[in-house]
């Protein structure tokens, strides 16, 4: 696979739109930070987790492919690598959260903690210093995983049992364990602790599943958009699209399974210290987002992806991928924002602010710009695929 200069105009357009979107969003985010901070942080944290999810989801899918192999992964491998190459960027994006931990998380308020015995038992873990140190550890582990995966990234070797392939498999296995452990704690720190009286052992797994759906959908969107250009004109066959459609179907089902069983366990237990999380998200207008998630994040994609014809059609598959990317943001907003929207009288109703748009644009525009640059660099590296050699896959 040589650097395909044919698709450079497409990349340049993406980069231009990314810069424009990022610039306008950054200007709006700065204004929101200084003049509407109450609504800035819910929007910023949601946007941060959304774009980070695309990078970490790409990382997790790359490790799955490193463990299992398969033609489906070779089709989207370079797109996934360009996605997880952006992980260091989120160290910069994390700075606003790092600087204002006490303004975001209620467990930093001593009076709030002293009024809840359960938080006093968690106080050794929930500290500002611990929060910040752990964040550095998470990023260090994730960046280290990307470096090892890059070192043993597939090249033009034909032997699936080569030393390089075995080392990639080992790095993927160890990396997946390290990723699972660190991301679980990151979920606790960054989003679940917004409501520190509540906990769920399935929470992190739901987020991993959501990241996987979003990253896979984004990779499908990229390769179907570039299908007219080499090497994707050779790699993106109807058979490969069918495989990727099946993976989208499976990942969507896994997300729905985890989400439903968290709800089922909490509903059947009916304990006040657990069910309040859903009570707040199923009233005050938030129930409309919950219904949209059931319908548009699961039911509609599920039945569409059952069709072999739809999975083999790039336009339909691209549309489904776009829908799943949109609903991933809705899912995160429904999960994160209610944790902020509470006062002495209780939780307030659904409200979507302009800050949600500008923060999403700011982080997304910068991320897309970096992604487009890494995609060009990654695609210039050779990778063996029977379809590129004119052989049977």
Q: What is the pLDDT of residues 353-389, one digit of tens each?
A: 899 999 999 999 999 999 999 998 888 765 655 555 5
pLDDT computed for residue 393 by the predictor: 47
Query: Can you read off the two tokens belonging to residue 67?
Result: 């463990």
- pLDDT confidence tier of residue 102, bands split at 50, 70 and 90: very high
Handedness of CA 59, 65, 71, 72 (dihedral sign): negative
What is the Cα 262 distance to its own chain's centre? Answer: 20
| Rounded CA separation 217/319 (Å) | 10
Pair 3, 354: CB distance under 8 Å: no
Q: What is the pLDDT of residues 105-164, one digit of tens each?
A: 999 999 889 888 888 888 899 999 999 999 999 999 999 999 999 988 876 566 566 787
Helices 314-336 and 238-269: angle between axes, nearest 10 degrees: 30
Q: Is the peptide bond before 231 cis (omega within 30 degrees of 0)?
A: yes
pLDDT computed for residue 388 by the predictor: 52
Pair 371, 86: CB distance under 8 Å: yes
What mean pLDDT is predicted for residues 164-177? 91
Pair 187, 204: CB distance under 8 Å: yes
Please, what is the average pLDDT of the chain?
A: 89
Pair 104, 336: CB distance under 8 Å: no
Query: Is 305 a residue whose pLDDT tops 80?
Result: yes
pLDDT computed for residue 3 by the predictor: 45
pLDDT computed for residue 345 by the predictor: 46
pLDDT computed for residue 115 by the predictor: 87
pLDDT computed for residue 158 by the predictor: 60
Q: What is the pLDDT of residues 330-349, one digit of tens each?
A: 999 999 999 886 554 445 67
What mean pLDDT is predicted for residues 230-246? 86
| Rounded CA separation 89/78 (Å) | 18
Query: For 237, phi and psi rounded to 5 degrees?
Result: -95, 170
Q: Tell me which DSSP letter residue 384 carries.
A: -
User: Residue 207, Cβ neighbours under 10 Å: how many?
Assistant: 26
pLDDT computed for residue 392 by the predictor: 44
Q: Which residue has the tokens 């897309």?
A: 368
pLDDT computed for residue 344 by the predictor: 45
Q: What is the pLDDT of residues 49-62, one digit of tens each?
A: 999 999 999 999 99
| Rounded CA separation 393/388 (Å) | 9
- Which residues sit opposite 342 in a β-bridge? 347
The CA–CA distances, whole Å, from 164 to 59, 70, 143, 323 equal 18, 16, 20, 37
| Rounded CA separation 377/100 (Å) | 36
SS3 content of the chain, % helix, strand, coil (to 5): 80, 0, 20
Half-sphere exposure at residue 212, Cβ-oriented, CA atoms within 13 angstroms: 25
User: To the nearest whole percent, how much of the chain has pLDDT over 70?
Assistant: 91
Q: What is the pLDDT of residues 246-299, one digit of tens each?
A: 999 999 999 999 999 999 999 999 888 889 899 989 988 999 999 999 999 999
What is the Cα 126 distance to its own chain's centre? Answer: 25
| Rounded CA separation 284/160 (Å) | 55
CB neighbour class for 191 (10 Å; exposed up to 12, middle 13-18, buried from 19): buried
DSSP states of 77-145 as a string? HHHHHHHHTTTTHHHHHTHHHHHTHHHH-GGG-HHHHHT-HHHHHHTTTS-HHHHHHHHHHHHHHHHHH
Which of 224, 214, 217, 237 is closest to 331 using CA atoms?
214
Which of 97, 141, 147 is closest to 336 using CA atoms?
97
What mean pLDDT is predicted for residues 11-21? 89
């Amino acid at each position: 696979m040589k650097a395909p200069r044919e698709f450079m105009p497409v990349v340049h357009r993406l980069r231009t739109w990314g810069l424009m979107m990022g610039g306008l969003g950054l200007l709006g985010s700065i204004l929101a930070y200084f003049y509407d901070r109450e609504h800035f942080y819910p929007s910023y944290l949601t946007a941060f987790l959304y774009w980070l999810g695309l990078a970490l989801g790409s990382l997790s899918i790359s490790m799955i492919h490193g463990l299992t192999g398969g033609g489906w992964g070779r089709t989207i491998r370079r797109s996934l690598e360009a996605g997880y190459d952006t992980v260091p960027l989120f160290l910069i994006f994390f700075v606003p959260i790092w600087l204002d931990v006490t303004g975001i998380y209620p467990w930093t308020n001593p009076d709030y903690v002293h009024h809840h015995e359960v938080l006093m038992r968690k106080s050794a873990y929930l500290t500002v210093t611990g929060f910040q140190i752990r964040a550095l550890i998470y990023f260090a582990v994730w960046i280290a995983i990307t470096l090892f995966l890059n070192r043993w990234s597939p090249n033009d070797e034909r032997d699936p049992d080569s030393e390089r392939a075995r080392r990639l498999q080992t790095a993927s296995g160890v990396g997946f364990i390290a990723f699972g452990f660190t991301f679980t704690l990151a979920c606790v720190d960054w989003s679940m602790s917004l409501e520190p009286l509540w906990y769920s052992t399935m929470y992190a797994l739901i987020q991993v599943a959501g990241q996987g759906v979003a990253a896979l959908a984004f990779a499908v969107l990229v390769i179907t958009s570039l299908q007219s250009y080499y090497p994707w004109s050779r790699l993106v066959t109807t058979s490969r699209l069918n495989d990727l459609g099946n993976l989208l179907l499976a990942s969507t089902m896994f997300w729905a399974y985890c989400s439903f069983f968290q709800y089922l366990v909490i509903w059947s237990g009916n304990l006040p210290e657990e069910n309040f999380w859903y009570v707040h998200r199923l009233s005050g207008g938030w129930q409309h987002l919950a219904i949209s998630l059931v319908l548009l994040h699961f039911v509609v994609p599920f039945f569409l992806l059952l069709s072999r014809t739809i999975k083999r059609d790039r336009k339909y598959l691209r549309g489904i991928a776009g829908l799943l990317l949109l609903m991933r943001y809705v899912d995160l907003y429904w999960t994160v924002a209610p944790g902020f929207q509470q006062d002495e009288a209780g939780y307030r109703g659904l409200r979507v602010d302009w800050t949600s748009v500008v923060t999403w644009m700011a982080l997304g525009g910068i991320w897309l710009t970096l992604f487009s640059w890494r995609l060009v660099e990654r695609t210039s590296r050779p990778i063996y695929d029977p379809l590129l050699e004119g052989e049977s896959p």
